[in-house]
A and B are shown apart, each in its own frame.
Chain A
Amino acid sequence: MAWVAALVAGLLFGSGLLLSRMCDPQRVLGFLDVAGAWNPALALTMGGAILVAAPAFWWARRRHETVLGAVITLPDRFKFDSALFGGSAIFGLGWGLSGICPGPGLLLLTAGSTRAIVFVAGMIAGFYALSGLRRAKATS
């Protein structure tokens, strides 16, 4: 049941990225280009997503369990540190450069273009670079 739900959740999420054209880099860059020909459409996408997800999170904060009775552990909401801001800034650099964030990057893979492949490969290399750096720091 939980696994079927994960598949359904992915299908909904992926259909939404496709319908909103969030996986079109030029549309994302148009949204980020506030000083140029700004295209605010993706603000509606984010607003629509929050409108639907917020009641689910409200339930999760009150009940702390899933509809199947398993415990829900929500992330810390008040932890501010340099990793949060530094990491988010680095992500912003990459996102502003290409207009591609992780979900859309995976969708673009289905078209099989070289640039989609190198984006996702770069992303995975970034995961390993960070965990390698953290290991080196822990052992030094």
Chain B
Amino acid sequence: MTPDLWHALLGGMLIGGGAAVLLLVDGRIAGISGILEHVTRGAIGVSGWRLLFLAGLIAPAAAIGVGTIDFAQGVVLTAVSGLLVGFGTRLGSGCTSGHGVCGISNLSPRSLAATLTFMGVAMLVVFAVRHAGAAWRG
């Protein structure tokens, strides 16, 4: 395996480790969209663990930096994307972390269905943006 694939695997194991610690010590699911929604609703008194989790989440990026980021869309479509992600993850009760990592780890058919749905739709969108236009143009 190349160093890049090792980083992908080890990074995944760290993510799973974080989810395991939060579950075994706090009894909580590491679903980032749900945690963030609770915090933005402003119930700080009951959200201590959520604030600390989010602080820990962004601390490594704040310390080391995320590197040069090449955004795929302009400001307007990036905002639209955020709106769809926020609305959709709460309606569907989970995102890549809550359904994709925690739900599948919990052997949940519900989370597997959600993950296949959002991953499938996202693949279709990427296909439409990157390839379908070119195919139509011949």
Contact = CB atoms under 8 A, between A and B. Distances in A.
A139 interface: no
B137 interface: no
B57 A13 contact: yes
B104 A120 contact: no
Contact of B8 (A44, A92, A96, A111): A44
B61 A14 contact: yes
Given A16-B12, A48-B12, A126-B87, A94 B93 contact: no
B44 interface: no
Contacts, number: 469
B10 A87 contact: no
Interface residues of B, number: 107
A52 B13 contact: yes
A94 B81 contact: yes
Secondary structure at the A interface, as helix, strand, loop or mixed, is helix
Interface in A4-58: 4-26, 29, 32-36, 41-42, 44-57
B58 A90 contact: no
Interface in B47-81: 48-50, 52-62, 64-67, 69-75, 77-81
A51 B19 CA distance: 11
Contacts of B54: 10, 106
Given A21-B8, A52-B16, A94-B84, 6 more contacts: A16-B17, A78-B109, A98-B82, A110-B58, A115-B74, A126-B83
Which 5 A/B pairs are nearest by Cβ-Cβ distance?
Answer: A126-B86, A10-B56, A87-B92, A122-B82, A20-B11
